[in-house]
Amino acid sequence: MKYCSSCGDIVSKRIPEGDDRHRHICDGCDTIHYQNPCIIAGSLPVYEDRVLLCRRAIEPAYGYWTLPAGFMENGETTLEGAVRESMEEANVQLHTLELYTMIDIPHINQVYIFYRGHMAKPEFSPGIESLEVELFDEKDIPWTDIAFPSVKTTLEHYFADRKKGLFPVRTDLIQRRKR
Amino acid sequence: MKYCSSCGDIVSKRIPEGDDRHRHICDGCDTIHYQNPCIIAGSLPVYEDRVLLCRRAIEPAYGYWTLPAGFMENGETTLEGAVRESMEEANVQLHTLELYTMIDIPHINQVYIFYRGHMAKPEFSPGIESLEVELFDEKDIPWTDIAFPSVKTTLEHYFADRKKGLFPVRTDLIQRRKR
């Protein structure tokens, strides 16, 4: 951020009065431009014993498998975001959705929120951001080709919880990989 | 938003190619400036049979009672945000925090995330954003002077769940009040 989105003047990074963090502040109109984490809303679509994965047609992680998920939009709920992304990426309709995982990824300023949802019928097809969409039994999950750690951990929770038949909301933290 | 924060040129609201929503797009450098919901992270501090509330020293809802909560910052987790806000607003330290409520408020593009936390000692004091901080028994909760619906619903869930001794994660939706 170099310019003020309100007045077009130069912004500089300073600590506002009464604050303890550097913010982008306009040198002209004094507007403070806060930057905050984003929510990624997604779903874990389930049909009988299988879960639905999408193979990504976009970067990052082109060609890898993911659950339907994307940036939550202004004016919608986390549930509506999850339903919208499921339709956009997999043309899949879900019912009886329930909050399932909330995953903090602080080094990229993201919080993933996945809802577990059921498919009435095995009907789906790739949206524009997917190369293919497929139902997987647990034994066939392409674990080494999963796009994101948040997807992997959500799938791991699901298969573990399914053995007990209980699906409490799970929280997780994903930290930067050590190099 | 009138000006591009990257190059300072004029932005206009248009639908980007492949999108279905109006976004602020720079007429000069074509940068798309997405706007997304914010997370408010907070806590429900519990000491023995009582819960801690703060009386707000700032607008909105000056003088009304709230739970410690505020905008989640980049680089922190939802839990860290809840802990930080508890310290800033009430100088209270919490242990064994657990995710408790997630509340969508789509008409103001906010998602509240409250953690239930325990106080080892009845030690607290007002931070700069609080007029006073106090522990309340259920029968003394100032229900008509609660600052925000998200706080009221979190307290209602808590006292109902406490009777059963079970605190599953609760999700809620708060919609615009009809006029």
CA geometry: angle A71, A76, A80, nearest 5 deg: 80
pLDDT tens by residue, A45-58: 999 999 999 999 99
Which residues of chain B have a Cβ shorter than 8 Å from any chain A Cβ?
1-8, 11, 18, 21, 24, 33-39, 71-80, 99, 102, 104, 106-107, 109, 111, 113, 128, 168-169, 171, 173
The verdict on a CB contact (< 8 Å) between A109 and B4 is no
The verdict on a CB contact (< 8 Å) between A5 and B171 is no
CA distance A83 to A113: 12
pLDDT tens by residue, B84-112: 999 999 999 999 999 999 999 999 999 99
Question: In CATH terms, is domain B38-172 a member of 3.10.180.10?
Answer: no
- Confidence band of B39 (pLDDT split at 50, 70, 90): very high
Domain ranges of chain B: 1-35, 38-172
Task: Output b/e per residue, B59-87; b: 16+ Cβ within 10 A.
Answer: eeeeebbbbbbbebbeebbbbbbbbbbbb
- Considering the four listed CATH numbers 3.20.20.70, 2.20.70.10, 2.40.40.20, 3.30.70.980, the one that applies to the domain covering B1-35 is 2.20.70.10
Predicted TM-score (pTM) above 0.90 = yes
**Is residue B152 pLDDT above 70, yes or no?**
yes
**Which runs of consecutive H residues, i.e. helices, occur in chain B?**
78-90, 149-164
Q: Which helix or strand (DSSP H or E) is residue A84 part of?
A: helix A78-90
CA distance A88 to B175: 25
The verdict on a CB contact (< 8 Å) between B71 and A34 is yes
> Chain A partners of B113 at a C-beta cutoff of 8 Å?
102
pLDDT tens by residue, B166-177: 999 999 999 987
> How far does the CA of residue B140 sit from the closest CA of chain A (Å)?
31
Helix, strand, or coil (residue B125):
coil
CA geometry: angle B138, B142, B144, nearest 5 deg: 130
In the beta sheet, which residues pair with residue B20? Answer: none
The verdict on a CB contact (< 8 Å) between A8 and B3 is yes
> Chain B partners of A78 at a C-beta cutoff of 8 Å?
102, 104, 111
Do A38-173 and A1-35 have the same topology in CATH?
A: no
pLDDT tens by residue, B125-141: 999 999 999 999 999 99
Size of interface A-B (CB pairs under 8 A): 107
CB A63 within 8 A of CB A131: yes
The verdict on a CB contact (< 8 Å) between A4 and B3 is yes
DSSP codes, A89-157: HH----EEEEEEEEEEEGGGTEEEEEEEEE-SSS-----TTEEEEEEE-GGG--GGGBS-HHHHHHHHH
pLDDT tens by residue, A83-129: 999 999 999 999 999 999 999 999 999 999 999 999 999 999 999 99
The structure tokens listed for A125 are: 């097809």
> How far does the CA of residue A146 sit from the closest CA of chain B (Å)?
23
CA distance B13 to B22: 6
Tokens 């951001």 map to which residue?
Answer: A129
pLDDT at A75 (0 to 100): 96
Which residue on chain B is closest to A20 by alpha carbon?
Answer: B88
> Chain B partners of A33 at a C-beta cutoff of 8 Å?
5
Which residue among A2, A71, A76 places its CB closest to the CB of B106? A76
Distance of CA B56 to the CA centre of its chain: 14
Which residue among A8, A35, A173 places its CB closest to the CB of B77? A173
Q: Which fold has domain A38-173?
A: Nucleoside Triphosphate Pyrophosphohydrolase (3.90.79)
